[in-house]
Amino acid sequence: MKNDKPQITSVQASAGSGKTYNLAKRYITLLLERSDSASPVSIKNVIAVTFANKAAVEMKYRVIEYLKKAALSLDTGDILKDLNLSEKEKSVCSAKILNDILENYDNFNISTIDSFINRILKACAINVGISPNFKIEKDISENLSFSVDSFLKKASKSSSYKNLLSEYIMQYLILEKSGWFPKNDIYNEVKNVFRKTGYTGKNIESVESGFEEGLVSRSVKIRNLTQTFADKYLKLDINGHFKNAVKKVLEEDDKIFHRLKVPKKFSSTELKYNANAARDIAADSLWEEIVSAVSELYEFYAQNYYGVYGKIFSNISVEFDRQAKNEEIVFLNEINRKTTDFFKSADSIMPEVYYRLSERYKHFLVDEFQDTSFVQWSVLKRFLEETLANGGTFFYVGDAKQSIYDFRGGSSEIFYKALQDFPQRESEVITLGENYRSHKTIVDFNNKIFSRENLERYLKEVYEDDNLEIYDNILNVYSSSGQNFNAKKTKGYVDIEVLDGDLSEDAPKLKFLEHVKSALERFLPQDISVLCRTNGEAFEAGAWLLEEGYNVESEQTLNLKNNSLVKQIISLMAFINSPLDALSFASFISGEVFQKAAGISSKECDKFLFEQNKNKKNEVFYKAFQDKYPELWNAYIEEFFLKAGFIPVYELTISVFEKLKIIESFPEDKIFALRFLELVKEFEKEDSGINNFLAYFNLLNANEEILYVKNSSANAIKVMTVHKAKGLQFPVVILPFLKLSEQKIDKPYFDNSGGDIKLLYVSQDTAKFSKKIKNIYDMEKAKLLLSEINVLYVSMTRAECELYAITTQKGRTKNTVAALLGSNVFKDGSKEIYKIKEVKYEKISDDVSGGYKAVSYNLPETDLQAVDCDDAKRYGAMMHFALSKITTLKNKDAKKEISAAADCAKRKFLFDGLKNIPENLESFFENDKIQEIFNFNEREVFNEKEIVTASGDTLRADKLIEKTDAVIVYDFKSSQITEENIRQVEKYKKHLGEIYGQKPVFGFLVEINSKKIVKV
């Protein structure tokens, strides 16, 4: 049967308009609408790709949540309203699909686009000459540095390499770059090219040698023509500025050409004369020839300046690829390029690709499509050609206004490319016009600021000297940016401050802190997010908050290297690794970790350090401490000192945690301590030894993801960059550094409009002398401005209830945001009390009480529940879980077992009554009958025991006692015992009787609250 629906659906979803909801709806609809047909759509035939891991997790959660509700005939809103199915059919089909997902979770294809492309590369690795078992690495620095060194070494032996390096050195000398670090220059430029080629999937176009000769010959030509002009026509009544320009060229040496310092008058094709002076046709003609020669020089410079870098890059990349292949590594930046290389090859037949993937996709869904790079689109396009040709569909959601990842190859243009590339396919465009995130005042404000009319006014005001046609794409992107507010969100507050540049430097800080203080009168710290354009700004805003004593969650505060506790552990490790390292030892004993554990005061430690500094004897530092405080040394340091080098770093770290009681003494830093343990564990997958670990830790860049605590339980103000906040929303948003600035064009400029990438030198200066370069410059300038406006749009559309922004205008500032705001600089709306949905945090398990093995087992788990029910049920659930952690108390220290169970419950649940759980458990076990339940031999007791029935169903008994002459089953209940509970235990007894044959089976129900025991 022919499908009468469009094959391509483009959903334009502005901020807060429910794009994830619509993706989930589309996914579920695809599965349900033909679930009862002869050829239903399987989950393995549908693939959804997102931009970020968090979005993939959220979409999976939503799909499963909606299917669960539909299967249980609960309210799913309008997500299933378009299906021509009865309620019963929806329920049955949803249950069937949900079961399919649970049984075949690997086929539940919702992942990031990077993960999807990685799967393709893994499946087709042999075809592109890499190992199928390749590992993905993020940082290319070490491998690239090695490859650069290898290239330089080969230059001493190979004539071709030597000639290439000589060409580079000559260019380096001609341009007289500051400093003499050509190796650093090569490394930095090549690293930049590696990054860009990865995002485009293209190779660098080769440029012929001869930059030096071409520069010299063109300079000579300009000088000769200018000299001729001066000899013949400088006596004419020519405008003085033009005369001075000619004289300057003749007086200066060749550096004026090599450094592109030719006077601006040489960009004017029309020679200017003084008033009433007669024009000289021959002078005009020669002037035009000079201007043409100057333009030719600038164009040659732009097209050839990076030629030698391109050739060096090509040679270094050969060594780089060889090394990566030997180590079975593929760098994250290369995945897109290598996958594209495969599809360019003759082996890339789609049936073969599907065969290798063991799947065939009939329906594609893409989230945040505007963040897709052109190289990623080229891969998706190959799949879509096959899919659409066979009746499949393509559904994508995004917003060109939120395209802010141009530095990763993303482009707002990509959003419109899908429809352009498949013009023959029936398509539809859906616009989501309602904002479900922000309250009315915020929606109205953003509608005014980002309207086409306001942007057009801004461009005319700020860029009046430019050809405004180059900014048409900006106006097109924002042509329909207006949104409707949701009827349930009619409030909101906006406060935009433009501070006078004459105010004190502290003015922005004071205004920012004033906003924070005001917001905290109505919101919790965790409801407030401070968004900044750069990491530096985020660091500064975080510092302001920390100075005032606020709890802050930011990259600054969540980085292990910035955490005081981790610094002290590293100091201890450094001392253990090198006992003569007096600085590390002094740092450790001066810290709170050691002083709190050892019970020594800070004053006492300072006194010891002062005395050692005065001591002129050449005495080993730690020996002096050992002699003066032998008890402290033996109790808290010697064990680590002796173990070093004989046990793994991970086990040594656990010993430090236990001995110094780090988790117990520093609960506020617990998550950092446990993240540090994860880091150590990750290190030991590849390496070993404390010396190697310290080197590994020190070499980690401050921005490496592994250094950051991913989930914080702190009720803290969040500080982050706008790019990190994309896709998120917050009750209150504060923008302390609101700005809209013109960004510089990258050097080199990557022209990937053709088959290969051309590396061009494009700047404002070169654009003045060449129309070709000016066209490129204008195009890139407009593109960068659009990206900046998009960043501003994203930052100002994250707020739900209140939005604050501060900008400072200082003299001739390049920050043009005030011009964009225009007359819309105001305070509007009202400050209200809102009912904010409580945030549920994930925490990392912290069971270090069991030592090395226990932590090794528990560490990877993230285990936290927030039970959303009344106190009695919470208490029952909490007690039920704690009891599941106690097998028996026979021949054991009861208090210790109960305490351990209570600790486990504390990590499992988020509940105010947890502080009383040890007392509650002790009270529970005061009952003699209860004690009998927990007085069997350890080997006879099984908690949470699974019972498999003859039909294959699984039951789970709370406690099963398997004695030689009988079997006893206990079921603990947190509420009053019901008939259903009794039938459940009878079911246990029946199936256990079938399993154990002649052994008698006894069943009991235990009411936790009343301690009542009922025999079944």
Binding site, by residue number, is: 13-20
Strands (E), 883-1015: 941-948, 954-962, 967-973, 1001-1007, 1012-1015
- Burial (CB < 10 A; 0-12, 13-18, 19+), residue 944, is exposed
State the number of CA atoms in the 13 A half-sphere of 267 facing the CB.
17
- For 118-147, give one letter per residue: b (16+ CB within 10 A) or e: bbbbbbbbebbebeeebeebeebeebbeeb
DSSP β-bridge partners for residue 758: 751
Of the candidates 417, 401, 471, the one whose C-alpha atom is nearest the C-alpha of residue 783 is: 471
Count CB neighbours of 1006 within 10 A.
Answer: 22
Query: What is the residue whose two structure tokens read 């404390």?
Result: 690
Cβ within 8 Å of residue 541, ≥6 positions away: 512, 530, 532, 719, 736, 737
Q: How distant is the alpha carbon of residue 726 from its chain centre?
A: 10
> Across the chain, how many H-helices and E-strands are there?
42, 24
Of all residues in the chain, what percent are helix, strand and coil, respectively (each to 5)?
55, 15, 30
Q: What is the 3-state secondary structure (H, E, C) of 344-404?
A: HCCCCCHHHHHHHHCCCCCEEEECCHHHCEHHHHHHHHHHHHHHHHCCCEEEEEECHHHCC
Closest CA to 175 of 185, 161, 162: 185
Distance (Å, whole) CA 400 – CA 371: 9
Binding-site positions for ATP: 13-20
CA dihedral angle for residue 951, residue 955, residue 960, residue 964, rounded to 10 degrees? 0
468 C-beta neighbours (distance < 10 Å), count:
14
Q: Which amino acid is at 870?
A: D
3-state secondary structure of 307: helix
Per-residue burial over 866-900, b if 16 or more Cβ lie within 10 Å, else e, is ebeeeeeebbbbbbbbbbbbbbbbeeeeeeebbbb
Give the C-alpha separation, 720 to 530, whole Å: 6
Neighbours of 732 (CB within 10 A): 28
Residue 576: which of 478, 659, 467 has the closest Cα? 659
What is the 3-class SS of 576-611, one letter each residue?
HHCCCCHHHHHHHHCCHHHHHHHCCCHHHHHHHHHH
Measure CA of the first residue to CA of the last residue in the chain; give whole Å.
59
Closest Cα to residue 66, out of 109, 32, 110?
A: 32
Compute the distance between CA of residue 982 and CA of residue 960 in angstroms, rounded to an integer. Answer: 16
Of 612, 573, 574, 606, the C-alpha closest to 589 is: 606
Q: What dihedral do alpha carbons 576, 580, 581, 585 form, nearest 10°? A: 60
Q: Is there a contact between 112 and 52 (Cβ–Cβ < 8 Å)?
A: yes
Q: Is 532 helix (H, G, I), strand (E, B) or coil?
A: strand
Among residues 790, 846, 794, 487, the alpha carbon closest in space to that of 669 is found at 846
Task: Report, in angstroms and rounded to the nearest whole number, the Rg of the chain calculated over CA atoms.
Answer: 35
